[in-house]
């Protein structure tokens, strides 16, 4: 049942335009990088912060009763049952090294269930929108419906992960290596962008470590709207802090879960 109305979808697109206008001028520039952690490295830049501020300003003015959760500025409570989940630069490491495999994540949840998700790459002009049971790629002058590709067996699958050594425990790395040994080949890095490539049919399996809500909320409608499946490593509904598994073909989902265990 379609529950996201056209005006809300238009608003989500305007949020992308607003954040993209802030973020683009910072890309491939020598900008200040702040580390948010004392004993590790979690970078943030004015692109992250400014993009989120631009989105919040619009939502505060036009949807004041909606809740907001953003990576940089935290949670704002709401009363409407709707919550916007924001990560304006998912893949800041890629961003600060001049690579394009990052994106702006904007999600809308209804009663804590993601019902709209956008992976926006404002430099490439690619916007992947999952809403009301379908996923499309929006580019200037063109809209392309997306669907995952058939891949019945893990031995024929392309496996992706951002960086197991940085985001997985030793036990999780061992599970990942078992999947890698069975896959056709593996490519690393890509953050949210590899989930867009799964929706396009270029990637078959994505195995990632623990995610936060702003890392995954937008990915769920994009993957599921393209016919894929996204879950935790046990095959259940993702909960805050769970490791993430996404598969284009549901037939290999069970194969991967068995290996991860």
Contact yes or no for 148/195 (Cβ under 8 A)? no
Residues pairing with 186 in the sheet: 159
Residue 37 has a pLDDT of 65
Residue indicated by tokens 């505060």: 60
Residue 52 has a pLDDT of 97
Three-state DSSP at 3 gives: coil
Residue 1 has a pLDDT of 57
Residue 57 has a pLDDT of 98
Residue 233 has a pLDDT of 97
Residue 69 has a pLDDT of 98
- Tell me phi and psi for residue 119, to 5 degrees: -110, 110
Q: What is the pLDDT of residues 101-120, one digit of tens each?
A: 999 999 999 999 999 999 99
* CA–CA dist 58, 32 (Å, integer): 26
Ramachandran area for residue 246 (φ above 0: left; ψ -120 to 50: alpha; else beta): beta
Classify domain 154-260 by CATH number.
3.40.190.80
Residue 242 has a pLDDT of 94
Domain extents in the chain: 6-145, 154-260
Residue 212 has a pLDDT of 95
Classify domain 6-145 by CATH number.
3.30.540.10
Contact yes or no for 13/106 (Cβ under 8 A)? no
Residue 33 has a pLDDT of 86
The reply to whether 154-260 shares the fold of 6-145 is no
pLDDT along the chain (261 residues), means of 10: 89 98 94 77 86 98 98 96 96 91 97 96 97 97 97 97 92 97 96 97 97 97 98 94 96 96 87
């Amino acid at each position: 049942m379609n529950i996201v109305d056209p005006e809300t979808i238009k608003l989500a697109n305007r949020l992308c335009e607003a954040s993209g206008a802030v973020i683009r001028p910072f890309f491939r520039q020598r900008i200040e990088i702040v580390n948010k952690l004392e004993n590790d490295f979690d970078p943030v830049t004015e692109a992250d912060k400014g993009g989120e501020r631009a989105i919040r300003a619009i939502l505060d003015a036009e949807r004041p009763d909606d809740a907001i959760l953003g990576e940089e500025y935290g949670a704002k409570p709401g009363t409407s049952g709707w919550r916007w989940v924001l990560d304006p630069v998912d893949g800041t490491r890629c961003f600060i090294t001049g690579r394009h495999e990052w994106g702006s994540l904007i999600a809308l949840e209804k009663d804590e269930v993601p019902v709209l998700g956008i992976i926006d790459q404002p430099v490439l002009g690619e916007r992947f929108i999952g809403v009301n049971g379908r996923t499309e790629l929006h580019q200037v002058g063109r809209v392309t419906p997306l669907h995952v590709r058939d891949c019945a067996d893990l031995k024929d699958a392309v496996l992706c992960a951002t960086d197991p050594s940085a985001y997985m425990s030793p036990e999780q790395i061992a599970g990942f290596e078992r999947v890698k040994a069975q896959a056709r080949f593996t490519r690393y890095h890509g953050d949210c962008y590899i989930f867009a490539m799964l929706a396009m049919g270029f990637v078959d399996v994505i195995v990632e470590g623990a995610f936060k809500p702003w890392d995954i909320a937008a990915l769920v409608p994009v993957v599921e709207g393209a016919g894929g499946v996204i879950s935790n490593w046990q095959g259940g509904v993702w909960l805050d802090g769970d490791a993430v598994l996404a598969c284009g073909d549901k037939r290999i989902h069970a194969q991967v879960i068995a290996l991860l265990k």
